[in-house]
Amino acid sequence: MARHRQRGWNSRLLAAALGVTVLAAAASVWTAQAEQVAGPPQARESAADTRVAEVAMDIAHASDRGPRGVNITIDDGPDPSWTPQVLRLLKDNGVKATFCMVGTQAQAYPGLVKAVVAGGHRLCNHTVSHDTAMDTKPEAYQSQQILDAERMIIKASGGVRPQYYRAPGGAFTPYSRKLAASHGMRPLGWNVDTKDFERPGSDAMVATVKREIADGPTILFHDAGGDRSQTLDALREVLPWLREQGYVCGFPVR
């Protein structure tokens, strides 16, 4: 994943309506999952301050589905234009993914965060503002980016914790990895970078996946940061192809 900070998102009104539709259809499922993960409402209100089991601080790449497992990861959202479409496509293919959410986006679109949870997907902390240079900043700044995003995501989800932490642009530090792990968020890397944020064309993205998947199971896509129509086209081809090749989509190890 190259360092990137594309924004300029559009078509918010149409896609927000799609997000509401997704949420309404899955509200009961989300409620059950949120309560299972986070406990009763009074517990969820203080979830960000509750102690959780520490996880490993080394950067995860492997899949919990074993040697033929694949992890689909979706970064930088949620976005009202693209996240509902990604969710629909994943559902149509019977695939669960890990959504690496930017704190400000989660705060702006809590309905979409809940829709992601309702779909059986997992949440990942992608910091407050997606600062790809945060590895050059003081530890206090790194802490603020990680912990504030954690609180934003938990609140937006209704109490469901992010299970992973992905540094923007791969800007991990030993301090940020240790901090995230102490809050139950396994640092999450990637093996296959589709470079979809550069809009190289869906054929190029698909070719990258087919060429590089043997090197490791975690594939990087985006549902925000610009026009993601090429990403959708690539996913429509990649997901059935992975299944045909005998791969099984799962989640990153924790």
Q: Judge whether 75 counts as a catalytic residue.
A: yes
- 144: tokens are 């603020």
User: Using CA atoms, how far apart are residues 69 and 62, in angstroms rounded to an integer?
Assistant: 8
Is 222 designated active site? yes
70 pLDDT more than 90: yes
Position 168 scores a pLDDT of 97
* Nearest partner of 113 among 79, 73, 67, 75, judged by Cα: 79
Among the residues of 103-245, which ranges form H helices? Answer: 103-108, 110-118, 139-157, 174-182, 202-212, 229-244
Which of the following is catalytic: 61, 75, 135, 196? 75
Distance of alpha carbon 146 from alpha carbon 129, whole angstroms: 10
Under DSSP, the state recorded for 137 is S
Residue 246 has pLDDT above 80, yes or no: yes
Quote the pLDDT of residue 163.
98
Q: For residues 89 and 71, what is the distance between their CA atoms, to the nearest angstrom? A: 16
- The residue from 121, 126, 130, 222 that is catalytic is 222
**Averaged pLDDT of the chain:** 86
pLDDT recorded at residue 42: 31
Task: Give mean pLDDT, residues 221-233.
Answer: 97
Looking at residue 134, what is its pLDDT? 97
pTM of the model: 0.81
Length of the chain in terms of residues written? 254
At 138, list the tokens: 């003081």
Q: Taking CA 39 as the corner, what is the angle to CA 58 and CA 16, rounded to the nearest 5 degrees?
A: 80
* pLDDT bucket at 149, cuts 50 / 70 / 90: very high
Label residue 224 by pLDDT band (50, 70, 90): very high
Q: What are the tens digits of pLDDT across the range 27-38? A: 443 433 444 333
pLDDT of 55 higher than 60: yes
Percentage with pLDDT > 70 across the chain = 80
Counting Cα atoms < 13 Å in the Cβ hemisphere of 88 gives 16
What pLDDT sits at residue 50? 57
Q: Which residue has the higher pLDDT, 2 or 169?
A: 169
